[in-house]
Amino acid sequence: MYTSKIAGLGAYVPENIVTNDDLSKMMDTNDAWIQERTGIKERRHIKKGDGNSTAKMGVKAAKIALERAGLTPKDIDLIVFATLSPDYYFPGCGVQVQEMLDMRTIPALDVRNQCSGFVYAISTADQFIKTGMYKNVLVIGSENHSGGLDMTTRSRNVSVIFGDGAGAAVLTKAANDEGGILSTHLHSEGEHAMELSLEGPSTERWVPEIIAENPQENIPYYPYMNGQFVFKNAVVRFAEVINEGLEANGLTAKDINMLIPHQANLRISQFVQKQFRLSDDQVYNNIQKYGNTTAASIPIALTEAWEEGKINKGDLVVLAAFGSGFTWGSAIIRW
Ligand code: ACO
């Protein structure tokens, strides 16, 4: 029997730092409100002409992950790319990575599960490895949020939260006794799809229709978030899916060495930390520096935690995410 393990991790964020004070020059907000409600101090935004895009940032993170795994692009059998902000409506970012990294004509799959995207992507990669179909899978989470945010007061509850960046992991086939991904757990509840969504342009609402609706009043082409409703559901689902993963492996919260929650909001992470009675060094947070980078947030946080020596061989690492869809999931990993 095989399992899959994470053989290499990488992250990339654009150089351009946007502080809360910078945002307060564009909209009616302030550093104290943003820090108190979200924990965010600053985030990165792509700057026009800096050579970044969702796919290009993904490639930068992937190169680091590949090097750390001791592999080359030619060794990869499948690309799984998670994003809600692809460079194009179609095709997806996965094929762009295949071309940019000069890979073989391997399959490239895009995952559209927003903040849970990386957990869904890891789970997909894990299944392909465990069935024996592929040996090495490149998993990327990358977002260019700044290109699609409404930087005016009317969307301030959304626009202060999100940032740009990318993270990547190389998953590789391993023997069962080497540790690796023990299990993954995925869920969705489409009933709440529109509570955190970007309606248009889409095949349901194409551009002329949006313009006809008067964009000054109606802004379906910017993200909408029912913040309090999302918050309330997030704290419940995070706890459920972490418990589900622990129970499936005969473990309890006492076994967790490191929890990497999707960096949605520092208050959500702190709430989950309290529920599981984890200490500060058992939960990794970096939303303070990057904001919420959606599909990129877990791989960026996982990479940083590993770089800082906070994840060691034998540790039980738990990844957990909740986001638009609603979708949520967890991955239980023995490092
Ligand atoms: N600056 C200043 N004031 C603001 C801002 C801002 N950026 N945004 C909202 N406000 C004001 C509101 O206008 C409101 O003012 P009012 O009382 O005069 O009407 C007041 O602050 C409170 O607004 P709420 O929206 O009720 O604020 P809340 O305490 O709920 O915090 C927040 C908003 C931070 C968005 C919170 O609801 C939250 O974190 N929700 C979860 C969000 C989340 O995790 N999203 C990511 C999910 S992941 C994904 O899939 C993309």
Atom 43 in ligand 1: residue holding the nearest Cα:
264
What confidence tens digit (pLDDT) does each residue in 2-26 have? 899 999 999 999 999 999 999 999 9
Computed over every residue of the chain, the mean pLDDT equals 95
State both tokens at 250.
């005969």
Give pLDDT, residue 28: 98
Does the beta carbon of 84 sit less than 6 angstroms from any atom of ligand 1? no
Q: What is the pLDDT of residue 178?
A: 83
Active site residues: 115, 262, 292
Q: Which of left, alpha, beta for 156 (phi over 0: left; psi -120 to 50: alpha)?
A: alpha
Nearest to 159 by CA among 323, 296, 43, 299: 43
For residue 228 and ligand 1, the question of a CB distance below 6 A is answered with: yes
CA distance linking residue 246 with residue 252, whole number of Å: 6
Q: What is the pLDDT of residue 75?
A: 98
Given 3-state DSSP classes, what are the helix, strand and coil percentages for the chain, each rounded to the nearest 5?
40, 25, 35
- List 331's β-bridge partners, or say none: 184, 319
Distance CA 139, CA 298 (A): 12
CB-ligand 1 contact for 156 (6 Å cutoff): yes
3-state secondary structure of 325: coil
pTM value? 0.96
Q: How far is the CA of 276 from the centre of ligand 1 (A)?
A: 25
pLDDT attached to residue 82: 98
Decide: 257 and 318 in contact? Cβ < 8 Å. Answer: no
Band the pLDDT of 258: cuts 50, 70, 90: very high
Rounded to an integer, the average pLDDT of 82-90 is: 96
Q: Ligand 1 centre and the CA of 299: distance in Å?
A: 25
Mean pLDDT, residues 57-63 taken together: 98
Predicted confidence band of residue 194 (pLDDT cuts 50, 70, 90): very high
CATH number belonging to domain 181-334: 3.40.47.10
Domain boundaries, the chain: 3-178, 181-334
In short, whether 221's Cβ falls inside 6 Å of ligand 1 is no
Q: Which CATH number fits domain 3-178: 3.40.640.10, 3.40.50.300, 3.40.47.10, 3.50.50.60?
A: 3.40.47.10
Report the nearest atom of ligand 1 relative to the CA of 292: 46
Ligand 1 atom nearest the C-alpha of 227 is 37
Closest CA to 239 of 205, 268, 206, 282: 268
* 287 within ligand 1 shell (Cβ under 6 A): no
DSSP letters of 167-208?
A: EEEEEEEEEGGG-EEEEEEEEE-GGGGGGEE---SSSSS-HH
Instruction: Please report the atom of ligand 1 found closest to the CA of residue 230.
Output: 41
> Ligand 1 in contact with 324 (CB < 6 A)?
yes
Is 220's pLDDT higher than 80?
no
pLDDT band at 215 (very low <50, low <70, confident <90, very high): low
User: What is the amino acid identity at position 103?
Assistant: M
Is there a common fold for 3-178 and 181-334?
yes
Please answer whether residues 44 and 74 qualify as being in contact, where contact means their C-beta atoms are separated by less than 8 angstroms. no
The closest of 61, 133, 67, 71 to 100, measured between CA atoms, is 61
Cα distance between the two ends of the chain = 18
d(CA 304, CA 132): 30
Q: For residue 317, what is the DSSP state?
A: E
Is the confidence at residue 119, as pLDDT, over 90?
A: yes
